[in-house]
Structure 1
Amino acid sequence: MEPLRSSDPARIAEHRLLGRLGAGGMGVVYLARTPGGALVALKVLLAEYAEEPGFKERFRREVEVARRVDSPWVVPLVDADPDAEAPWLATAFVPGPSLAEAVSSYGPLSERGLRVLGVRLAEALGEVHRAGLVHRDLKPGNVLIGHDGPRLIDFGIARAPEDRTLTATGMVVGTPGYLSPEQAEGRGGDGIGPASDVFSLGCVLAFAATGRAPFGSGALDALLYRAVHDPADLEGVPTGLLDLLGRCLEKDPARRPDAGELARELTADAAVQSEGPGEAAPQDEGASAWLPEAVSRLIAERSAAALALPDIEHTLAPTETPAEPPTATGSPAEPETRETSAAAEPRDSRPAGRRRFLLLAGGAVALAAGGGGAWWAAARDGGSGGKGPAATASSRGPVHTIALHGDLSGPYRATGRAQERGLRLAVEEFNARGDAPFTVKVKAVDDGGDPAASARVAKDLTGDPTVLAVVGPTTDDTGQAALATYDAGLLPVVGLSPGTTNLTIQGFRSFLHARLLDAVLPIFASNYLLGTARSRKVGIVVDRPAGAYGTNLASSLSNTLANVPHPSVPEVVSAMRRDFGTAVDGVLSAGADSVFFAGLPDRGALIAATLRERAFQGARVSGPALLDDQFLTQAQEAAEGWVMVAPVIDATRKPEARKFAAAYRERFEEAPPRYAAEAYDVTSMLLEALAALPSKGRTRQNLLASVREGKYEGITKNIAFQENGMMAIDGSGAYVWRVDQGGFVYDGPAPLTA
């Protein structure tokens, strides 16, 4: 929970405000006490939005919908005033994580847990449907986890099937990845009924069973396409639930069970009953026996923190200095040792009604710090090789820590070590300044490329109050494992090498994506193919083993070419095949004079060899994954002439980076590898923002807000961020590399136009 700001009221109606749970562009969600002392989440819309035609009416409709649904598994509406100058509504406060946070941080549920979750959400949907409504946005982020069961939230877009105010044909409403086929196709009016919610519940249960969405991740159009056309990925779902989830995920709404039938089939497990909250079944070991132990502990921590909050006689809004949050390792009532300031508090970019509840008084961080145990990932505060000085703290002024979270010993160690060295060089230069207002210490932590270790690293760094920012992690998978923990501690994290859209669309507040996403790079690749290569027809070869990475590249390029319009020929290669002959012959026989490969280095070598055998002379283009020595080693002569569009520079060839390259060579006795300059840039950006803050305002929250709102002119590119943490596209960030005489050669910025 963030402290109140001096501009916040002390009360709204008779509700005394305790702190901020989140904020978005349209309003703020507060934690508040009712006149009777109960805790509520109170959502307030900004007054200026209430003046917009129809806006207050839509808010009033949300209040009416919430009042119509009566279920113990739906967060109840406590009070509301849709006609106030700044309309507001208050719902019961649930001091637990969302299902998205619980599964992402602690893993999938057991079959027992899945049945409890499914029964109670099906019962909640049954009440929604009996009220004549369809929820329309059931997803893991809209399910809160209490010790006695789940709670469904967010009726902002719930409607009766015949209500066309938000469901005109062609309009897609909801969250891609959890939408029914009828929603994904934008069917209007009666086309979206209760069966749509059952499909979404099937998606939610599949996520809870496996830790991943059943239609994968990637570009939004790809998610919508898969929901309509592709079978759900149910690998890892317990055998006893496979048939039922498969029926929930039928493309034809008429073939799905209704909510009542679903609840009855799930209770085939005799241990699952449909008691109300707090009424555990007689055979239960406890109300929370359906949850992993770590999630139960987290709920207990947050519940204890809620109980420790001030009563209604002592919850005054701050005037100058906000209340101090707890230390990462202390009790909820213990003050944190670092100083805070009310200035430049970050805003949650998600709409207030869609927020994930933030941690109460640091309970989640306390749990994370206390559960580290013995783990193999090594923390390195010393140097990273080379002959220069290590980045150690001096006695000048306060000491702040910038951390590197990376793969320093595993399969992506070259990238992780390059980022570590770039970070260290930026810190050493900062510490050497005569006017530096503080000293910076480096904490480099190795996860070995292992997602489980990455999650433990995130807990360690979040629990260290001296760490004000993190650069990393190195890969998509290690990033996915860590970001929920960083988000809970609001610790700024700047990613350089992960490229999946999924890390951005999950809404992590503290994550900043400081590179163009994989789904954006094909826009520049199409400019190269149509302009530089003058291709008349592009063959797109999608390699299934590349997973979401390959799908992102291929679908983005296909859509970009279709919008021009420009002809393309798609071919998909199964993971079971190592022979690319059929795919290559397919695109060439269709008239393709260039080939774009959406895949990884080892299989890239296979298609390169096939094209060489066919004496193909056209352009051969791919994404950043092929910018890897493995491709050169395995493809050998067949790699010659290939072009990669990637989000990384060669610092020795970019004029703005030559001073950095010379300093790097002096420090580490070698030319800077890829991603070293990028790490130097974002570290310098963080240090510049931190130095600009007043001494008492150098906190994680204020640093995050400053970086989010600022713009940094770096040696690699200009860096600025959109509201969702994605890097703003301003003409920089994509670069062309080619293979020449057995090595990668940097050719400068990718073309902005064809």
Structure 2
Amino acid sequence: MEPLRSSDPARIADHRLLGRLGAGGMGVVYLARTPSGALVALKVLLAEYAEEPGFKERFRREVEVARRVDNPWVVPLADADADAEAPWLATAFVPGPSLGEAVAAYGPLTERGLRLLGARLAEALGEVHRAGLVHRDLKPGNVLIAHDGPRLIDFGIARAPEDRTLTATGMVVGTPGYLSPEQAEGRGGDGIGPASDVFSLGCVLAFAATGRAPFGSGAVDALLYRAVHDPADLDGVPAGLLDVLGRCLEKDPARRPDAGELVRELAADDAPQDGEAADWLPDPVTRLIAERSTAALALPDIEHTLAPSDAPVDPGPAEPDTRETSGAPEPQDARPAGRRRFLLLAGGAVALAAGGGGAWWAVTRDDDAGGAGPAAASSRRPVHTIALHGDLSGPHSETGRAQERGLRLAVAEFNARGDAPFTVKVRAVDDGGDPVAAARLAAELTEDPAVLAVVGPTTDATAQTALAKYDAGLLPVVAVSPGGIVLVLQGFRSFLLGRLPDSVLSIYVSNYLRGKARSRKVGVVLDRPAGNYAAQLATSLSNELHNVQQPSVPEVVSAMRRDFGSAVDTVLSAGADSVFFAGLPDRGALIAATLRERAFQGARVSGPALLDGQFLTQAQEAAEGWVMVAPVIDATIKPEAKKFAAAYRERFKEAPPRYAAEAYDVTGMLLKALSGLPAKSRTRENLLAAVRAGKYQGITKTFAFDKTGMMVIDGTGGFLWRVEQGDFVYGGPAPITV
């Protein structure tokens, strides 16, 4: 990013400009903050071109197309004004490099990476084509790279095949070297259809596989001629992709596969599925994304970028205070030194790890008021709906059902109150752990005006696809189990992360290892199949250990390896006397077994993912003694939660599982805030503002949020668990100091 120039405005509309991302002959792209604090890429058409009907019409078309295309692999439109004196549009900011930049700097992708890239770009193109449009300018520079997959950008020349308003027969529009033969020949109208985008996708994938364009370089005329007459240069393309790329690059559009066929074919075999995108990028690209994400988090917020003329006016009487605290706030200089240091370290961990988210079915379960009895049935009270969005039947159903029950208990207790100002109805939806279903259900909940807030989703992958839908309707959504900092970084206005991010948990891990475990050198094992989760934990822990000059031995395990012997031998031979594993339960069992085979007696520590019955089942005796740092309590032991635990047992005939108390807490927080609003002010927007401005003391921890939607880091929220006699045993708060 370049600094703003003296000729640049300080803001455009309500967006505060922070720097220049790029510039061309017709406009400038700025990095900007929205009024809510989200980062966006804001494109402005220069005034001299805004007066020309052709350029302004093209810009208006880009806005219209961006509004019509809704797909996880297309950068979403945040706001736009095509009729302004200087027309502008703002899209979500993606801190990663373009595909062109990544390949040029770090080389081609692996076949696994190519399959993910191709399948997700084909999925994006399929959405464009279903909208009746053709992108017409797919090239490496119009593909941005994120940890979980690509993002398609720039719809400036997209149009319907039959639309002839912006081009004419004989005019070549697009980027030579990535144009289809029909584009290179200047065919107009119906001659440029979806198959043209498929050809361009074949060119992009060939570039990503080899590092060079399939029709070479040189003069424009030569490039156009080769696209029409010469075979593509596919030397160096992995053998498993030669056939599909060859068919994409057929000269005859009728012989090319459509986008749907490409999704099915490229997603076959061992390609990453759904929300899984582990190990698809070269390590240097992953680090580059992390660095740029870190820089994005370090940018000033709205308060620090206000110009004098932007000073806020007196807003008048404040909304009713819905804050609930256990005492007066502690002055900053009165905090213990260890706590002050923790806050500083945690801030660094958040920034560093910011870069580091088959058939499906779903059901919706509604009830009148959570089975709350007479109070719930009262017809004299207004009725408001709180929704639970979770995985209630898929791989994470244990967590999803726990959250549903925690929510229902909170609602039942609220409805049973004689002074309750309204009755609460529960609506529960099940995405089965599928990101596609999650997006669809989020859209349905958003369209239901009775729903004022949502608790969920259950996983990072489902949250990644759902949050944009909720944000579109400004529907408050509070999640207690997803932990990726990227969910906060994307700037969703209505999202609140009701737990510490995974990256902050590494501070507790460091304190535990250096303190109670008395480790002198830590082996940090990053398991690539765990994707962003592993990267955030391992990267932030390594950084923390480096900052305190604690020796560590980093080791990365490829997704293609199931034998952890080499990785374990590497860290142990380097003198590691403790091991931290950043990975998931199934492979956690493998490294646990390997460490047991080596008779390793040092501390073995991991993050919240290993707090799963699968780890115990598969690791058996090898799980004994492992310690997990997680953002979740045992409600049967924590004194503040014992009343909740008793009520849960009475209602559901079992002890409360993990994440039930956390869902109970955030539901109580939402209901407390909603109760504090006047009857006519109980809207989504006002509820969101009340929760953001307030502070709520729950049974698990204190809930307060900063302007990004992340919990305020106050030294609480991390907890220790240990495997003892084949079960997880709660160990109380994790240490904030050594």
Q: TM-score range by the shorter chain?
A: 0.5 to 0.7
* 1:590 alignment partner, one of 551, 569, 574: 574
2:445 maps to amino acid = L
- What residue is the counterpart of 1:449 in the other structure? 433
- What residue is the counterpart of 1:176 in the other structure? 95
* 1:241 alignment partner, one of 164, 186, 201: 201
Residues 525, 44 of structure 1: alpha-carbon distance in 2 compared, 3 angstrom cutoff: closer
* 2:538 alignment partner, one of 554, 558, 561: 554
Residues 516, 691 of structure 1: alpha-carbon distance in 2 compared, 3 angstrom cutoff: same
State whether residues 526 and 561 of structure 1, in contact with CA within 8 Å, keep that contact through their aligned partners in structure 2. yes
Instruction: Provide structure 2 residue ranges, at least 5 long, that are not aligned to the other structure.
Output: 1-11, 19-30, 36-41, 106-115, 125-142, 150-196, 231-251, 261-315, 321-358
State whether residues 475 and 497 of structure 1, in contact with CA within 8 Å, keep that contact through their aligned partners in structure 2. yes
State whether residues 393 and 441 of structure 1, in contact with CA within 8 Å, keep that contact through their aligned partners in structure 2. no
- What residue is the counterpart of 1:693 in the other structure? 677
Instruction: Provide structure 1 residue ranges, at least 5 long, that are not aligned to the other structure.
Output: 1-20, 28-42, 48-61, 79-90, 109-138, 157-173, 186-190, 192-202, 219-236, 271-282, 292-340, 346-373
Cα deviation 1:193-222 (Å, max 9, x = unaligned) = xxxxxxxxxx9999754669634159xxxx
* 1:214 alignment partner, one of 139, 145, 151: 145
- What residue is the counterpart of 2:719 in the other structure? 735
- What residue is the counterpart of 2:178 in the other structure? none
State whether residues 95 and 146 of structure 2, in contact with CA within 8 Å, keep that contact through their aligned partners in structure 1. no
* 2:365 alignment partner, one of 370, 380, 405: 380
1:469 match: secondary structure: strand
Query: Take 1:572 and 1:423, find their aligned partners in 2: how far apart are those partners?
Result: 39
Residues 555, 259 of structure 1: alpha-carbon distance in 2 compared, 3 angstrom cutoff: farther
1:103 match: secondary structure: coil
Cα shift at 1:576: 1.8
State whether residues 207 and 213 of structure 1, in contact with CA within 8 Å, keep that contact through their aligned partners in structure 2. no
- What residue is the counterpart of 1:66 in the other structure? 46
Report 1:446-525 matches (<5 A): 446-525=430-509
- What residue is the counterpart of 1:102 in the other structure? 70
- What residue is the counterpart of 2:613 in the other structure? 629
Report 1:280-429 matches (<5 A): 376-382=361-367, 392-429=376-413
Cα shift at 1:742: 0.5
2:385 maps to amino acid = T
State whether residues 484 and 533 of structure 2, in contact with CA within 8 Å, keep that contact through their aligned partners in structure 1. yes
2:479 maps to amino acid = G
2:444 match: secondary structure: helix
Residues 405, 179 of structure 1: alpha-carbon distance in 2 compared, 3 angstrom cutoff: same
Report 1:219-238 matches (<5 A): none
- What residue is the counterpart of 1:641 in the other structure? 625
1:103 maps to amino acid = N
Cα shift at 1:537: 0.8
TM-score computed with the length of structure 2 as normaliser: 0.60
State whether residues 66 and 77 of structure 1, in contact with CA within 8 Å, keep that contact through their aligned partners in structure 2. no
- What residue is the counterpart of 2:275 in the other structure? none
Query: Take 1:517 and 1:614, find their aligned partners in 2: how far apart are those partners?
Result: 33
Query: Take 1:407 and 1:262, find their aligned partners in 2: how far apart are those partners?
Result: 54
Report 1:54-133 matches (<5 A): 66-67=46-47, 96=64, 98=66, 102-104=70-72
Query: Take 2:204 and 2:103, find their aligned partners in 1: how far apart are those partners?
Result: 22
1:734 maps to amino acid = G
Identity of aligned residues (%): 60
Aligned Cα root-mean-square deviation (Å) = 4.9
Residues 663, 208 of structure 1: alpha-carbon distance in 2 compared, 3 angstrom cutoff: same
State whether residues 382 and 391 of structure 1, in contact with CA within 8 Å, keep that contact through their aligned partners in structure 2. no
Cα deviation 1:394-429 (Å, max 9, x = unaligned) = 313100000001111111111011000110111111
Cα deviation 1:328-361 (Å, max 9, x = unaligned) = xxxxxxxxxxxxx99869xxxxxxxxxxxxxxxx
Residues 491, 537 of structure 1: alpha-carbon distance in 2 compared, 3 angstrom cutoff: same
State whether residues 433 and 462 of structure 2, in contact with CA within 8 Å, keep that contact through their aligned partners in structure 1. yes
Residues 75, 483 of structure 1: alpha-carbon distance in 2 compared, 3 angstrom cutoff: farther
State whether residues 578 and 604 of structure 2, in contact with CA within 8 Å, keep that contact through their aligned partners in structure 1. yes
Give yes or no for the alignment of 1:650 onto 2:610: no
2:491 match: secondary structure: coil
Query: Take 1:669 and 1:504, find their aligned partners in 2: how far apart are those partners?
Result: 36
1:102 match: secondary structure: coil
Residues 45, 499 of structure 1: alpha-carbon distance in 2 compared, 3 angstrom cutoff: closer
1:717 maps to amino acid = K
Query: Take 1:382 and 1:724, find their aligned partners in 2: how far apart are those partners?
Result: 33
2:147 maps to amino acid = G
Residues 579, 238 of structure 1: alpha-carbon distance in 2 compared, 3 angstrom cutoff: farther
Query: Take 2:229 and 2:53, find their aligned partners in 1: how far apart are those partners?
Result: 19
Residues 661, 77 of structure 1: alpha-carbon distance in 2 compared, 3 angstrom cutoff: same
Cα shift at 1:75: 8.0
Cα deviation 1:543-599 (Å, max 9, x = unaligned) = 121112111211111112122222111111122221110000000000111101011
Query: Take 2:698 and 2:411, find their aligned partners in 1: how far apart are those partners?
Result: 15
- What residue is the counterpart of 1:541 in the other structure? 525
Residues 100, 609 of structure 1: alpha-carbon distance in 2 compared, 3 angstrom cutoff: farther
* 1:526 alignment partner, one of 510, 530, 534: 510
Residues 143, 244 of structure 1: alpha-carbon distance in 2 compared, 3 angstrom cutoff: farther
State whether residues 609 and 635 of structure 1, in contact with CA within 8 Å, keep that contact through their aligned partners in structure 2. yes
Query: Take 2:582 and 2:372, find their aligned partners in 1: how far apart are those partners?
Result: 41
Query: Take 2:54 and 2:710, find their aligned partners in 1: how far apart are those partners?
Result: 33
Residues 100, 216 of structure 1: alpha-carbon distance in 2 compared, 3 angstrom cutoff: farther
State whether residues 369 and 424 of structure 2, in contact with CA within 8 Å, keep that contact through their aligned partners in structure 1. no
State whether residues 641 and 700 of structure 2, in contact with CA within 8 Å, keep that contact through their aligned partners in structure 1. yes
Residues 258, 521 of structure 1: alpha-carbon distance in 2 compared, 3 angstrom cutoff: farther
- What residue is the counterpart of 2:423 in the other structure? 439
Query: Take 1:419 and 1:259, find their aligned partners in 2: how far apart are those partners?
Result: 61
Residues 579, 441 of structure 1: alpha-carbon distance in 2 compared, 3 angstrom cutoff: same
State whether residues 81 and 89 of structure 2, in contact with CA within 8 Å, keep that contact through their aligned partners in structure 1. no
Report 1:245-284 matches (<5 A): 247=207
Query: Take 1:637 and 1:45, find their aligned partners in 2: how far apart are those partners?
Result: 52
Report 1:42-61 matches (<5 A): none
1:731 match: secondary structure: coil
Cα deviation 1:125-164 (Å, max 9, x = unaligned) = xxxxxxxxxxxxxx76589899xxxx984699xxxxxxxx
State whether residues 529 and 594 of structure 1, in contact with CA within 8 Å, keep that contact through their aligned partners in structure 2. yes
State whether residues 94 and 146 of structure 2, in contact with CA within 8 Å, keep that contact through their aligned partners in structure 1. no
1:546 maps to amino acid = A
TM-score computed with the length of structure 1 as normaliser: 0.59
Cα shift at 1:690: 0.5
Query: Take 1:267 and 1:391, find their aligned partners in 2: how far apart are those partners?
Result: 72
2:673 maps to amino acid = A
